[in-house]
Amino acid sequence: MKRTLVLLLLVTMLLGNGLLAAFAQTPELVDGKFTTTREITVEIFDRANEGGSKPEDNFYTDYIKKGMLEKYNVAVTYVPVPRWTEVDALNNLLAAGDAPDVCVTYSYPTIQTYAEMGGVTDLAPYLSEHKDLLPNLWELLGDQNIYWDLDPEKGTLWAIEAKLFVNKRINTFVREDWLKKLNIAEPKTLEEFEAMLVAFRDNAETLLGADKDKLIPYSTSYDVSWRNDHLITSFVPEGLTEKEAYVRGFDDRRMLFPNYKEGVRVLNKWYNDNLVWKDFPVHGAGDNAEDNLMKAGYVGAFTHNWDYPYRNGEDSIHANLQRAFGPEAGYIAVEPFPNDEGIYRKFLAAPIDRKVFFPATNDEPLASLLYLDFISTMENRRFLQIGEEGVTHEVQENGAIKTLAVQGEKIMNSLNNIDYTITINGLDTGDAEKNVLSIALGYASVEPRYIERAFELSSKDARYGKNYSVGLIQAEVGMNTSLPNKRDTFLTQSVVAPVDQFDQVYDSGMDDYLSSGGQAIIDERQAAYEKYYE
């Protein structure tokens, strides 16, 4: 009887402390591993690379899948989304309730739109509850990137921001061999750059011989504001205030910055002077026509991503030029566009990159967070970024990593496999000095001097974006597609318009942009800035 009473007392105590229930249930994790297999889906960009592997099923996805299953008992399935139309594709998936459990996008307004409709998971409570299980994610991103998008009043967190480890943007490139052939000094001003383009045009036969009619002094694309950023923003006054930069900076192309129009006017003049590729408006996203013209040796200059001509190994623009025209052929980065104070100012982003979020249909938030922690460990992201020693890279005597060109199953569909390292963009070897040395060596068939120069110039005299925690800007919701489309359309129309019609076309397009939601965003941002920061 006495023994029975003791047992009853013990049971009562356990129930009172909630411990019996804990013992009765199977713990979710045992030694950090799920007791039953969990399944998650993860978005992966499909870049449609010729000769590439299936982005959802290859050597690197197998590495992650195997690691996740062994470490956490989590089965991972990848869902490919077209890179160049990722916003539209993601919108369709979210609207249909078919979005992957782990989503990634460059467009935060897309996330906001669906968050307002209850379609996105609030990550704040999960990150707080499971912080001790996510040491690698926290070490990599820190509070700054994890809580970058935290609402200051509601406390909601719809996404975490990946780390932009190599914070570069674009460069202006010129055919170095053409400069030498025409005895032209490297352009340092807008006037010198324009004179160089005129020289390319007027000396087409000297440069291309029988192909003279194919020469393009300067090339651009339908994405006028990205592809001509250094030229156009050189007209932005150096005195731009932080308030102006925030209020008018919601367009990541800086299109609403003061005096932007005058930079576009220069492009319009060039176009009408036959200095710009005439067919650029008809080639949309993912079209390879422009790259092929560069590879064929017809283009004298262009502006693009900071290392663009050196990408893609043996099929890079640089490699194709050298095979066709010899070792002297190639593009070199230049700085020809000083602003009103003579500074080669570059407007660069804050140290954030892609936005990672979970749709409301995600019923495995912990497994999804563990996925992010897994790819954030130094060991795993290092392997994903550089692959196998002796196969995809070599370690130099100074510790630098030299990337090797590879075909077949171990080919990387994106530079340093950034599509799999979605919490970091940019090579990180664990050593700052070795990072720079490695980046310079990371391009097959390209002399390091080209990369070192491009790396330096892309962020020289940079002005970085800052975080302003003001909560949701309601006017931005739903504008992530319509406003950029309007921007791209009217800027292209402005460039190709006759010179005497430029002002009418540009002003009409800007008025439409502002009346379609742009001005409302400006007004709301200004009010939010003044509320929290003045």
| Tens-digit pLDDT profile for residues 446-501 | 998 999 899 999 999 999 998 898 988 999 988 988 999 999 999 999 999 999 99
Instruction: Tell which residue, 81, 121, 138, has the closest CA to residue 419.
Output: 81
Cα–Cα distance, 154 to 112 (Å, whole number): 14
CA distances to 254, 268, 305 from 262, in Å:
13, 10, 23
Q: Look up residue 81 and give its DSSP letter.
A: E
Helix, strand, or coil (residue 164): strand
Cα–Cα distance, 128 to 123 (Å, whole number): 9
CA distances to 152, 319, 452 from 295, in Å:
50, 8, 22
**Cα angle: 76, vertex 79, 85; to 5 degrees:** 150
**Cα angle: 172, vertex 174, 176; to 5 degrees:** 140
Residue 367 corresponds to which tokens in the numbers above? 């497994």
Amino acid identity, residue 219?
S
Instruction: Tell which residue, 273, 332, 340, 339, has the closest CA to residue 456.
Output: 332
Across-strand partners of 115?
A: none
Q: Which residues of 298-310 are buried (b: 16+ CB within 10 A; e: fewer)?
A: bbbbbbbbbbbbb
Pairing of strands 346-348, 462-464: parallel
Cα–Cα distance, 237 to 234 (Å, whole number): 8
Q: Look up residue 515 and give its DSSP letter.
A: I
- The confidence score (pLDDT) of residue 13 equals 39
Across-strand partners of 44?
A: 80
- The confidence score (pLDDT) of residue 18 equals 41
Q: Read off φ and ψ for residue 136, nearest 5 degrees.
A: -75, -40
Q: Look up residue 26 and give its DSSP letter.
A: P
- The confidence score (pLDDT) of residue 8 equals 39
- The confidence score (pLDDT) of residue 147 equals 95
Report the helix count and the strand count for the chain, using DSSP H and E: 23, 16
Instruction: Count CA atoms closer than 13 A to 308's CA, side-chain side.
Output: 19
Q: Read off φ and ψ for residue 9, nearest 5 degrees.
A: -60, -40
Instruction: Tell which residue, 259, 260, 348, has the closest CA to residue 305.
Output: 348
Q: H/E element holding 112?
A: helix 108-116
Instruction: Count CA atoms closer than 13 A to 420's CA, side-chain side.
Output: 32
Crossing angle, helix 86-96 and helix 108-116, to 10 degrees? 20
- The confidence score (pLDDT) of residue 14 equals 38
Q: Within the chain, which residues score under 50 in pLDDT?
A: 1-26
Amino acid identity, residue 314?
E
Domains and CATH numbers, the chain: 31-164+355-379 (3.40.190.10), 170-348+466-533 (3.40.190.10)
- CB distance 381 to 371 below 8 Å: no
Helices (H), 273-304: 289-295
Residue 231 corresponds to which tokens in the numbers above? 């030229």
pTM given for the model = 0.74
- Report CA torsion sign: 139, 43, 90, 308: positive
Helices (H), 117-166: 124-129, 135-146
Residue with tokens 């406390």: 155
Cα–Cα distance, 502 to 264 (Å, whole number): 9
Residue 392 corresponds to which tokens in the numbers above? 């995809």
Residue 428 CB contacts under 8 Å (≥ 6 apart), including other chains: 165, 378, 381, 382, 385, 435
3-state secondary structure labels for all residues of 311-366: CCHHHCHHHHHHHHHCCCCCEEEECCCCCCCCCCCEEECCCEEEEEECECCCCCHH
- CB distance 258 to 340 below 8 Å: no
Annotate 408-469 with DSSP letters as a single string.
GGG--SSGGGTTT-TTEES---S-HHHHHHHHHH-STT--HHHHHHHHHHHHTTEEE-----
Cα–Cα distance, 374 to 381 (Å, whole number): 9
- CB distance 164 to 353 below 8 Å: yes
Cα–Cα distance, 208 to 205 (Å, whole number): 5
- The confidence score (pLDDT) of residue 520 equals 98
